[in-house]
Every structure is written in C-alpha cells, then in structure tokens.
Structure 1
Amino acid sequence: MTTSLTINLKRVNKVYHEGEIIAGVVVVESTSDVRHDGLVLVMEGVVNLQLSTKNVGIFEAFSNSIKPITLVHTTIELVPAGKIPVGTTEIPFELPLRSRSTTGPGLLETYHGVFVNVMYNLKCSMRRSFLNKPLNTSCQFFVQLQQQEAAPAKPVRCEVTPGSVRAGGGGRAHMPHFQIYAEIDSTVCALDKPLTGKIRVEESQVPVKSIELQLVRVETCGCAEGYSRDATEIQNIQVGSGDVLRARDVPLRMVLPRLFTCPTTATGNFKIEFELNIAIIFEDDYLVTENFPILLLRSR
C-alpha cells in the first residue's frame, strides 16, 4: 500500500497579503483504502534568528540560541477520523492570513538571509494508528506587505578622490591620483523597481580594471546575552570592465532579487537593513569603495 500527501495552492505564484484567504486542496493519493485518525492542517509563520560566531564563541552561539519568533499559527482539522477511498482524493481548505499576535511585529515579508530568516509554511499531517507512522507534507508560501504610497526620491551624489577616501595601513602615500563622480538616483527604493544611477571616471593616474555595484544586507539580531551585526553581500554586478573612457557617464542599474531583499525592518529583536557599494578596482589591484545606506520599501 502506497499513500502520499500533497498541498496544492490555487494561487500559482503563492504570494499573499495580510487579510487574504489562502485557498487550495490537500491531495491524497493511495493504491488502497486508507484508515486514519484525522487530517490536520497547520499554517505557521516564523522568524528564525542566529547569532554570528564572529561575535560570540561557537559554544555560546549554540547554547544561547535565540528562540524563533512566531508571526502566525493556525490549526484546523480537515477531515475527522475515518477512511479515505482508493485513488485520488482532493480535500479543499481556506485559511485567513492574519497575525494572531497583538504585541509582536505582526506579519513580515518573506525573507531569506544569513542570520535572519522569515518563512511561512503550510503543514499537513495524517494521523494513523500506532503501528503506522503519520504522513506529513509541507508547502511554502510567500507574504508581501501591502503597497504604500511612493516615497519622495532622495538622490545622492559624491566625489571620490584620494582626499575623500579613508586611508588604510599604507596611508595615502602610495594611493594613485584619481577623480571619480558617483550618483544614485534615490537611496529610497521600491522593491519592484530597479536601483539606478551613474558613475564617471573624470581622471585616473592608473588604468581602471573594473567597476562593480554591490548590494549588501546588514542583519542585526540578538538576545539577552548580546547582539551581533553582520554585513553580507547579496549580489555583485560588474558595470564597467577594463579601463573605461574618461569623462563619460557609465549607467548603474540593479534589479533587486526576490526573497533575498525585503522592506527595511527594525524590531526589538532584529533589524534588516541594506547598503549599496560602488567599488572601483585599479589595475594594480588598489580598491576604492563608496558606501550608500539605502531604504527599501514596498511602494507603488
């Protein structure tokens, strides 16, 4: 006897907003009649946090792990104890997507990070007699915040020269002479629109090897024992290869990746922030980076 469970959602992209109804069917396929003690469907949304081992010892990181934060948890009984006939049986369900917490952060967008993860799942279990293990299946769905009015653009411009760069261990004595202008059209960005700008190499004493645009997430999480703040790269786009022409604008354009970005978030237990780096690499491998903190929103 072979029996399988599958959860199929009616919405193909599996993207939902708070207050909407999550509808679908649980499909039971069996080669013979199946006796069971009931089918249960659970909807849960959880924030999983992890402390970086760079800030605390490995032993402390595991022994003082941060408890997950529950955003939503709903349980319904799909079918009472009984028998499901041979073949394919579809059991429909509907669940309202609402946060049960009045004191927590409410529903947050789905986000896959390094130290912070926000995930939503449907889990179905078929309880059976003690001689048979229960059958389980799960299905991930995605939550997006409702769109808000577009925020005013906040353009930023900067001039990068040896005088504006913070000198490293070697100081400015061995720093090549250069003059670079960078511009970001807005540091307040809608998640479904590309981030744009331009960069111009006015002059450079040594040839340019590469110009790169880097998107960075800055995750802060902690517990009673302390907090950790870590920056990790999400994606890197090369916008200029080789010694680019002088005094010519090089356009910057980056499409923000789904799931690895979300609206900038700050709660009592964690924060998710984002930054943009413009990196200029010279042929002698000298690296100059300009950093721009950015605010991401789910806006029109």
Structure 2
Amino acid sequence: MFLGIHAFGGDDEPESNPTTSPQPTGNPSNGGDNNNGELGNATGQAKTATEKLQGIGYGCSDLFNTAQGAHRGCFKYEGATEAEAVFQFQADGTIIGVQLTSQNEDNVNNAAVTFDAELQALGNDTFGGDQVKQIQTAVKNGQKSQKVGSTWGEFQLRNDGDTLELSGGKSGMDSLDLPRKTFDTTEPQMVTRLKAKQYVCTSSCSKQVGKYGSQRVYFYASEGEGIKQIEMSASGDPADVKKALPTAVNDAFGALTGGDIAALKSYIQAHSDGKSYASYVAGWRVEITGNATDGYSSQRINISYETFFV
C-alpha cells in the first residue's frame, strides 16, 4: 500500500528523530528544499495529532509545509516494532488524509498495541471516538482486508497479523500532490561510475568486505529517467561494517548528481550512531536502520521518493 520502514532490531534500542523547529519548510513544487528533518507550522487537528504522537515516542518531520497545506510523517522504532503515522492537512490544520502502519514480525500483539496507540493519538480528535471504535472493532474481528466506512470518510484496513495498515481520506477532499523527486543520474550512468570503483554490478552493485561481508548500492529509476530510489548497505563483521558503510555512502553520493545531495549526506552523517531513524529530508524520505551482534552487523540507508495513496 505504501513504503514501510525496514527495521532490523539490534543491541541499541532504535529511535526516531523528533524535531520541533517551528519554521515553515519547503513547498510541493520543489519538495521542501529547506527541510532537513524539521517540522513546519501546524494548528488545530494537525498540531494536536503531532503532539500526541510525539508524546508516545514518535519523531515527526514534514515532506513539505506551505500556505496550501502540508504532508507530515511521524515515525517510531521500539525494539522489534516499527510504526509510522503519515498524514496530510490543510493550512487550518484540518487533516484530510492518513496512512497508519505498525509492524512487528516477532510479536503480533505488540504490533496491534502500537497500532491502536497511534490510531487513538491521531484519530480521536480527527475522526471522533466513535469512528475510532469502528476501526478498532474491525481490527479485533481479524479480517485480512476490508473497507471501513465512517462519517469522516472511508478507510481501507489491511491486517496481516504482524502488520496492520490503515489508509483513508476525508470525504470530499483531494490529497495534496507530492513532489516528484529524482536525481539527475540515470541507472546506466550509476553502473558505469560504480564499476570504476571496482563494484560488481548485476541487479545491484556490490563488493566484498572482509572474509564474509559485503557493501552494496542498490538503485532504481524508470527507463530514461533519473534515479528515484537508492539504498546503501553493508553487512558482515561489525568492525568491517563500521568502515564499509561510510565508504558505500561516499561512493554512492560521489556517483550521483542533483537531488539535494548535500542535505541528504549531512543528515546521514549526523545520524550515524548505529540507531534507527526515519525522516523527510529535502523532499526525500530517508530511513536508517541496522542491527549488531558480537559477530555480525547489518546496516542500511534507504533514500526514496514518498508515496501516499488514500
């Protein structure tokens, strides 16, 4: 239904990156070029929902925030649980579209508890308590997929046990257009530039790290267009990964042009402590995840365009 957060757990408890800058950021036409994981203005329902989500551990940022409206995402990592509440709102704070998700592959109950908490944090003031109860009942009934009608609008619920997703739009309202984000570099150009750095490129570009590890750069673009998703990762011995991931990041950004590279690289470098983060940065969605044990480590950075279907 929409892009989720890829979490891998780990010794350090992951956390999202709460930011509370009151400055307006960006616009839909340029994707919020001044937005480096910050929050713009919000009143009414949007302000209330944001504060309640932050109060239960979510970190929030804006994809864009203008006089016409805003697109906000609130993200949370807690142990094996990963969750997000993405919503759009008008200038007066009226929420017009929502996407909620909660996932925990290790504990179905924890996924449901987290989903219910974010549903109430956003929904009680936006949809009304009665409408929230309708959705809660649908979840408890355990159906895999169903439409849930309400006086606010129509919701689509998906319940796979370890993953719960809810999307819906306010009746009579259209969602706000998202910025079209691509780098200038195409897939063939990226392959050529990474091969020059001794990467082996098939479906992705990779090179061996240590005895059993690897560093990898994956990217995706529509034919003839610039790259719109790129992922940098490293896995293997923890000491090797600690060196390999920054190298993969530098190699990837060194091969890219356009697409707000300076802001993206700055954000990644500022969140390189091994914990998990998700935020909007310069109109892109950035997810930083990883895990580590005594003998094995895996870390991943994903940069992608945002999707929003309600």
Give the structure-1-normalised TM-score.
Answer: 0.26
| Greater fraction strand | 1
Whose Rg is larger? 1
- More relative contact order in 1 or in 2 (CA 8 Å, sep 6+)? 2
| Greater fraction helix | 2
Give the structure-2-normalised TM-score.
Answer: 0.25
